[in-house]
A and B are shown apart, each in its own frame.
Chain A
Amino acid sequence: MIKNPTVEMTDEKHLPQANVPFDQIAKDLVRTTTHGGKTIRRVSIILGVLSIVGIVALIVKLITQRDDSTQWGYVAALVSFLLTVGGGAPMVAIAPVLAKANWVRPITRISAIFSLTGIATLIMTIPLLVVLPPLVVDGTRRRSIWFEGPNFSPHVWDYIGILGLIITGLALFYTAAIPDFAVMRDHTTGWRKRVGRILSRGWIGSNSQWRTLRMRIGMFGTFYFLILIFVHFLFSSDFAMGIVPGWRDAIFPMYHSITSLQGGLAAVIASLWFIRRYFKLEKYIHIDQFWSLSRLLFATTLLWIYFFYSAFIVFWYGRGGADKAWIDLLVRGSKEGIGPMGWVFIFAGIFIFIAPWWWLIWNSVRRSINGPIIAASLILIGIMLDRVRIFVTAWSVPTEHIHDKYLMIIPQTSLPSGLDIMIIIGGICIGLLPILVISRVIPVVSIWEMQQFNLLSKPVKYMKTHGVLVAKPD
């Protein structure tokens, strides 16, 4: 049995540091809630203003273009993007936690915080529900996953699904944050102390409280995963496939979900890089987190091409009318040559797959702090382009063609209007603002997770090599 296995190593790749006192961890991380006050306030104001501009633009669009569903593709793409990135990010923490991976501990909080972007998703979905055609159009029932269901089934159930996802995400975030609210209660003064006292709900760290906490995290994590897949299934079917005649693509909901994991990973890597740098958390966020995350990012990048190709090859070989229409609409963007959406597809492919794949294939890139952020940024841009490709083309199909066997004419590509641009920028700002605000209330790196991390994971010297001794309590 190893009694005191730790050795001192200062090189960042051999972190975590040995024997850092619990109080020191608490102090260091509580400090992040007050760090960079003025800058954060300025950025928050800018985000707030842009958010308001976005909401105003959304209202104006709803008033002026309510009757023309073909104009709503960019809003649908934005909602899908927010759902993809914001919805997928909490999964980054959940899956490794369920698998008892130790490296994930510094990441759990920032991943869970992304569930707050759900506020933006909820707001932006409302006008989409207004313009989404009911199940019975011109007296005839259209194809949908709801078959003979009530006329507004997609409208009701999709919103309930998104709401459920956000509530579960917030419950997960809050549950895992309770011990840290208690730390805020005990280590801060003023309004932070008051908030900590209220939200910590009498946390004293008793055995039963820890047991309950572990159980709740596992429960909410599992629920979140199931609801996330379900919401992606609903959203992709109702807001894309269902409004394009002849588009029958069983893999598409899974494609949508897989890109959500990819987008979530990219968002977490980007935010981790940001908080490490600007909140001075080099001591707590190490190369190991970037290394592990970028391996997962690499895997999901390969999954993107696999899921896309699995659909593409079936349509390509099928050569039926509906098969060809799918390729013309969603890949080429035109019946002849390459249309504007064809170019969007090409750039999406480069950003989501080709460039990150080539970049992340190198271990030296994955095993670095600055390497993964480049891939993550490319992927986030690529996912936005991919969502534009899918949703703008899907929504550009006029409602009068909804009952056709398949699409005979590829509709004109609609370019984004000024309102669309304002809504997209505003929507992303609404997503980011709560994250920034919450970083003032609670540390962006979980204190209790870091304390456990340091307790259970020790750098050791083994023979001539360095290693980490990872204790794994059941």
Chain B
Amino acid sequence: MEYWSLNPTSLKVMQQKRNLSQIHTNKTLLNGQLNTPKWWAPTVLILGIAVVIGLSAIGVMVNKGLGVTGLSRPVYWGLFITTFVFWVGISHAGIMISAILRLTQAEWRRPVTRAAELLTVFSLLTALAFPLIHAGRPWRIIYYIIPYDFARGIYPNIRSPLIWDPVAIGTYLTGSTLFLYIALIPDLGNLRDRTTGWQNAFYTILALGWRGNPRQWKMQTVGGILLSALMLPIFVSVHSIVSWDFAIIPSVEGWHSTIFAPYFVIGAVHSGVSAVVTMMALMRWLWKWDDFIRPEHFDALARLLIVVATAWLGFTFLELLFAVYGLDAPELALREMQLFQWPWNFLFIIFMLTAYIIPVTMWLFKKVRTNIALMFWTSILVNIGMWLERFMIIVPGLARKQPFVFTWEAYRPSGLEWLILVWSFAWVTFLMLLFSRFFPLVPLFEQKESQVFTDDVKIGRASVPAIIREID
């Protein structure tokens, strides 16, 4: 009696053991730190220039004021807030991939975790910059947080999501950084033992005396699991709170919806995991990590993305349906504008095509899921779509003419705003590349652990890939 089918293609499953020696693993995965690739310095230089240009643009805006942007009555929240929400969304990659897949013991997570955690940290840093930029006079942000005029009874409203936002994002950033660091310690010990001079001193300090004894391994594992569990509620709360920046405001049509919190979270997971796919493809191409980042990993991520994207589509449908369900005239007018009026209808079509229809249709085919170039481009499409989604949520509700509002203009982001948007991408990439020069992007110890935990079992005539799960 045969209980499963075993054909040649099915042999390439996630659990299948691949015999990669520890020397090969060390040599290949530390090539960014020990033998810096030739492309690294020129790329970092170009990105550095882009970062400087972007920072200069921010400087100009701070100097001249928000008048240099396209923001004007009644659209006060535009490209900056859209990009803020977008980067908070991308930051959900780390915990989704690293914490959730760690807790569910998904083996295929191993080569991806570090990059995902890193993306979380850098995208959060970037996201935090946008409310500051958006304020026009960033130093005044402090008044949101610190009571500044007791005499006249002016206090920050601690019940406002604008206060919760920095608290939640700050907590998430702290937790994610700790999470990243704890997972990095064994690899820092490895680098310490392979370097000399200042590098050795640098890694010695960061490795915190790591020797890899059983007690240290136990603490490192427990620390990772505990942080995973602690980070999960923060992960959910961050984008929920961002969504409540909008949802609790009944005066703007399209915002006052109960579904916003989970809708934002699932959308964030969709865009975050897609960003991880983009990163994985780049890592495989640039550092030639073909042995470690394999087509099967893209296949697994694409399957996960199909589920996530479809759940997100369901939430989108519910959001739209219950917006018009009430049959309130202003809400109906807004939705008509979003769906049928130029240029919103064009943006809406592009958003749906790029965020769901094109990528998910393609991912239904295994040939696409295991084709790294196609996965790379479809994941980029998703993030174009998800950026547009945030734009379509934030701007149209403000841009539509309201009763008793007699000055309004169509919002057209200025060149400076676009420049700052481009800066954010250059900035995150710049930070990632800088990190890759000093720290491995694929966790070495995870790879080695995977070698130990996978095996093949002979059952009857078949050889079946197997995993060892600890139960003690």
A346 interfacial by beta-carbon distance below 8 Å: no
Q: A306, B455: Cβ atoms under 8 Å?
A: no
In chain A, residues 1-34, which have Cβ atoms closer than 8 Å to a Cβ of chain B? Answer: 1-3, 5, 13-14
B365 interfacial by beta-carbon distance below 8 Å: no
Chain A nearest CB, measured from B230 CB (Å): 13
CB within 8 Å: A-B pair count: 149
A68 interfacial by beta-carbon distance below 8 Å: no
Contact among B10, B236, B455 with A473 in the assembled complex (CB-CB below 8 Å): B10
A253 interfacial by beta-carbon distance below 8 Å: yes
A202 interfacial by beta-carbon distance below 8 Å: no
| Contact digits for A432-474, partner B, Cβ 8 Å, 1 yes 0 no | 0000000000000000000110011010101001111111111
Q: A211, B5: Cβ atoms under 8 Å?
A: yes
The main secondary structure of chain B at its interface with chain A is mixed
Q: A2, B456: Cβ atoms under 8 Å?
A: yes
In the bound complex, what is the Cα–Cα distance between A250 and B255 (angstroms)?
A: 12
Q: Would A471 and B471 be within 8 Å (CB), given that A310-B240, A313-B244 are in contact?
A: no
Q: Would A474 and B6 be within 8 Å (CB), given that A205-B1, A468-B471, A469-B468 are in contact?
A: yes
Chain B nearest CB, measured from A32 CB (Å): 22
| Contact digits for B312-350, partner A, Cβ 8 Å, 1 yes 0 no | 001100110111111100000000000000000000000
A473: chain B residues within 8 A (beta carbon)? 3-6, 10, 462, 464-465
B248 interfacial by beta-carbon distance below 8 Å: yes
A362: chain B residues within 8 A (beta carbon)? none
B258: chain A residues within 8 A (beta carbon)? 249-252, 310-311, 314-315
Q: Which of A252, A452, A470 has the most CB of B within 10 A?
A: A470
A307 interfacial by beta-carbon distance below 8 Å: yes
Which stretch (B73-81, B259-267, B371-379) binds chain A? B259-267
Q: Would A254 and B318 be within 8 Å (CB), given that A211-B5, A469-B467 are in contact?
A: yes
B247 interfacial by beta-carbon distance below 8 Å: yes
Contact among A2, A246, A254, A456 with B259 in the assembled complex (CB-CB below 8 Å): A254
A320 interfacial by beta-carbon distance below 8 Å: yes
Of all chain B residues, the one with the shortest Cβ separation from A205 is B1
Q: B325, A143: Cβ atoms under 8 Å?
A: yes
Contact among B2, B321, B327, B467 with A472 in the assembled complex (CB-CB below 8 Å): B467
In the bound complex, what is the Cα–Cα distance between A3 and B3 (angstroms)?
A: 19
B284 interfacial by beta-carbon distance below 8 Å: no
In the bound complex, what is the Cα–Cα distance between A435 and B464 (angstroms)?
A: 36
A456: chain B residues within 8 A (beta carbon)? 459, 464
In the bound complex, what is the Cα–Cα distance between A472 and B323 (angstroms)?
A: 45
| Contact digits for B457-472, partner A, Cβ 8 Å, 1 yes 0 no | 1110011111111111
Q: Would A314 and B321 be within 8 Å (CB), given that A455-B459, A465-B472, A474-B10 are in contact?
A: no
In the bound complex, what is the Cα–Cα distance between A246 and B327 (angstroms)?
A: 10
Q: A250, B318: Cβ atoms under 8 Å?
A: yes
Of all chain B residues, the one with the shortest Cβ separation from A367 is B471
Q: A474, B467: Cβ atoms under 8 Å?
A: no
Q: B318, A318: Cβ atoms under 8 Å?
A: no
In chain B, residues 439-469, which have Cβ atoms closer than 8 Å to a Cβ of chain A? Answer: 455-459, 462-469
In the bound complex, what is the Cα–Cα distance between A5 and B319 (angstroms)?
A: 52
Chain A nearest CB, measured from B64 CB (Å): 35
A278 interfacial by beta-carbon distance below 8 Å: no
Q: B319, A306: Cβ atoms under 8 Å?
A: no
Q: How many residues of A contact B (CB 8 A)?
A: 56
B197: chain A residues within 8 A (beta carbon)? none
Of all chain B residues, the one with the shortest Cβ separation from A317 is B248
Contact among A3, A205, A254, A465 with B458 in the assembled complex (CB-CB below 8 Å): A3
B15 interfacial by beta-carbon distance below 8 Å: yes
A158 interfacial by beta-carbon distance below 8 Å: no
Q: A460, B259: Cβ atoms under 8 Å?
A: no
In the bound complex, what is the Cα–Cα distance between A306 and B248 (angstroms)?
A: 16
B401 interfacial by beta-carbon distance below 8 Å: no
In chain B, residues 220-242, which have Cβ atoms closer than 8 Å to a Cβ of chain A? Answer: 233, 236, 240
Chain B nearest CB, measured from A86 CB (Å): 22
B250 interfacial by beta-carbon distance below 8 Å: yes
Contact among A145, A323, A468, A472 with B250 in the assembled complex (CB-CB below 8 Å): A323
In the bound complex, what is the Cα–Cα distance between A253 and B318 (angstroms)?
A: 9
In the bound complex, what is the Cα–Cα distance between A13 and B457 (angstroms)?
A: 22
In the bound complex, what is the Cα–Cα distance between A451 and B459 (angstroms)?
A: 13
B327: chain A residues within 8 A (beta carbon)? 143
B248: chain A residues within 8 A (beta carbon)? 313-314, 317-318
B314: chain A residues within 8 A (beta carbon)? 229
Chain A nearest CB, measured from B335 CB (Å): 13
Q: A467, B259: Cβ atoms under 8 Å?
A: no
In the bound complex, what is the Cα–Cα distance between A172 and B322 (angstroms)?
A: 32
Q: A314, B247: Cβ atoms under 8 Å?
A: yes
Chain B nearest CB, measured from A244 CB (Å): 12
A274: chain B residues within 8 A (beta carbon)? none
Q: A471, B13: Cβ atoms under 8 Å?
A: no
Q: A468, B457: Cβ atoms under 8 Å?
A: no
Chain A nearest CB, measured from B386 CB (Å): 19
A229: chain B residues within 8 A (beta carbon)? 314
Q: Would A469 and B466 be within 8 Å (CB), given that A248-B322, A306-B262, A314-B258 are in contact?
A: yes
A314: chain B residues within 8 A (beta carbon)? 244, 247-248, 256-258, 260
Of all chain A residues, the one with the shortest Cβ separation from B7 is A474
Q: A470, B467: Cβ atoms under 8 Å?
A: yes
In the bound complex, what is the Cα–Cα distance between A319 and B256 (angstroms)?
A: 11
A471: chain B residues within 8 A (beta carbon)? 457, 459, 464-466
Chain B nearest CB, measured from A21 CB (Å): 13
B321: chain A residues within 8 A (beta carbon)? 145, 250
Q: A250, B465: Cβ atoms under 8 Å?
A: no
23 A-B pairs in the complex with CB atoms less than 8 angstroms apart? A1-B456, A2-B456, A143-B325, A143-B327, A205-B1, A214-B5, A246-B326, A250-B257, A250-B318, A251-B258, A302-B233, A307-B262, A313-B244, A314-B258, A452-B3, A456-B459, A460-B468, A469-B466, A469-B468, A473-B10, A473-B464, A474-B5, A474-B6
Q: Which 5 A/B pairs are nearest by Cβ-Cβ distance?
A: A317-B248, A473-B4, A250-B322, A474-B10, A250-B259
Knowing that A314-B247, A466-B471, A468-B468 touch, tell me 8 more A-B residue pairs with CB under 8 angstroms.
Answer: A14-B471, A143-B325, A314-B256, A315-B258, A467-B471, A469-B466, A470-B466, A474-B6
Binding site for B on A (CB under 8 A): 1-3, 5, 13-14, 143-145, 147, 205, 207, 210-211, 214, 229, 233, 246, 248-254, 288, 302, 306-307, 310-311, 313-315, 317-320, 323, 451-452, 455-456, 458, 460, 462, 465-474
